[in-house]
Every structure is written in structure tokens, then in C-alpha cells.
């Protein structure tokens, strides 16, 4: 298995191809057949469910390259932690990327809920909002509350950093892999406007 730094470099190069529309062509039937009995994903991506941010396309990777977990707001709940633990332990995947994105709907919904609470919000949606809430509440106490666009941009990055921290320090399994196994957990933001991914936490 490659190192975390090599995995990060592959993602960076893949995103460059995606931005420049130079896709990496591969023989899909051959690759598919080779993955029937085993897989060796080189990176774990915990990303948002937003339809505009499919990790395999954003990083120009193929079948078997990425272990992708998608949930609104790229939040970290027990099932997401367990999925990351599974891939990192079972496959020796060296890199975890928490991938947020600009104009995130889950962030915007949380801001709206904190500013004007809904009376009939479903408990399932509220569970997502409650996970994002710590990333937004503090920012609403600053001058950013007067500028929704800037507030949202800051909240997206803050939310990514909270999820990164949760993975680094909220799982004994991952803590041990980071300490002894070379696992690296980083944050990143995908720009809907440009297609570029910026790595910014733990790189």
C-alpha cells in the first residue's frame, strides 16, 4: 500500500485532471474483473451527499480506488466513524479526507434553523442540523452574521475541521492507526464554482 502523502498526491493530480477536463481513461471491464475478490482503496473520502460532488469524478479515480462515505453535511456520526475504521483497518488505507464544499445546503439549513427555528422539522433532519450546529453557533456571535455568504463559507471550513478532529480524537481505533500505522486524516473543500479541491487541515 502507498503512503498517505503518495495518496494525497494522487488525489491532487486527479483533481487537476478533472479541472482541466483531461480524464484518466482505463479499461473498465478489466478493472472490474480484478476487483471481484478484493479491493485496495488508497483513500477514504467522507464527503457530502450533494449530487454535484461525486468524489470519484472530482478526483478522477476509477473502480476500487476510493472508499467513499457520503452523508449530508459530511458530518461524523457513529456509523461514519465505523465505516472509516473498517476501511482503514481492513484494507490498510493510509489517507482519510473529509470533503466539504462551497454553498453546502446542510450548512445553510443549519444557519436558517439557528436564526429562525422551525416548529415541524423532522427529528432525522434535526439530527444532521445538531451535528453541524457547533460549527455555526460561534460564528453567529461574530460580525459574520451580517454577511450570509461569508458566514456560510467560514462555516463550511469550520464544519470540515470539526469532522476531522472527531475522526482523529474520537476513535481509539483510528487514534492507534494514526499513531502507529501512518494513517493521516485531512480536511478539504471542493469549489462548485471552479471544480478545484483545496486541502487545508492536516496537510
Q: Quickly state the pLDDT bin for 116 (edges 50, 70, 90).
A: confident
Residue 32: predicted pLDDT: 62
Residue 158, marked binder: no
Strand-pair partners of 189: 100, 198
- The pTM score is 0.90
> Average per-residue pLDDT in the chain?
92
The answer to whether 201 and 164 are in contact (CB under 8 A) is yes
Whole-Å CA distances, 202 to 95, 150, 183, 185:
11, 23, 12, 7
Q: Is the pLDDT of residue 154 over 80?
A: yes
Query: What would the mean pLDDT of 10-30 be, rounded to a whole number?
Result: 78
% of residues, the chain, pLDDT over 90: 79
Residue 68: predicted pLDDT: 98
- What is the C-alpha separation between 20 and 12, in angstroms, rounded? 12
Residue 48, marked binder: yes
Residue 101, marked binder: yes
Q: Is the pLDDT of residue 194 over 80?
A: yes
Structural domains for the chain: 4-201 (3.40.1050.10)
pLDDT tens readout for residues 165-180: 999 999 999 999 999 9
Residue 33: predicted pLDDT: 65
Give the closest residue to 157 by CA, choosing from 198, 189, 130. 189
Amino acid at each position: 500500500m502507498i503512503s498517505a502523502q503518495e495518496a494525497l498526491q494522487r488525489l491532487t493530480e486527479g483533481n487537476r485532471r478533472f479541472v482541466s477536463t483531461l480524464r484518466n481513461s482505463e479499461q473498465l471491464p478489466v478493472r472490474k474483473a480484478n476487483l471481484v475478490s478484493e479491493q485496495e482503496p488508497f483513500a477514504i473520502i467522507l464527503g457530502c451527499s450533494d449530487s454535484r460532488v461525486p468524489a470519484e469524478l472530482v478526483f478522477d479515480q476509477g473502480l476500487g480506488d476510493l472508499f467513499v462515505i457520503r452523508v449530508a453535511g459530511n458530518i461524523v456520526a457513529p456509523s461514519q466513524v465505523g465505516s472509516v475504521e473498517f476501511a482503514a483497518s481492513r484494507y490498510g488505507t493510509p489517507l482519510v479526507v473529509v470533503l466539504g464544499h462551497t454553498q453546502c445546503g446542510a450548512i445553510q439549513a443549519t444557519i436558517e434553523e439557528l436564526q429562525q427555528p422551525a416548529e415541524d422539522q423532522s427529528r432525522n433532519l434535526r439530527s444532521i442540523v445538531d451535528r453541524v450546529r457547533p460549527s455555526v453557533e460561534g460564528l453567529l456571535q461574530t460580525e459574520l452574521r451580517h454577511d450570509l455568504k461569508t458566514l456560510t463559507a467560514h462555516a463550511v471550513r469550520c464544519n470540515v475541521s470539526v469532522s476531522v478532529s472527531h475522526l482523529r480524537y474520537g476513535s481509539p481505533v483510528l487514534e492507534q492507526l494514526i499513531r502507529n500505522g501512518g494513517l493521516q486524516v485531512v480536511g478539504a473543500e471542493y469549489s462548485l464554482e471552479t471544480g478545484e479541491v483545496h486541502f487545508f487541515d492536516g496537510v
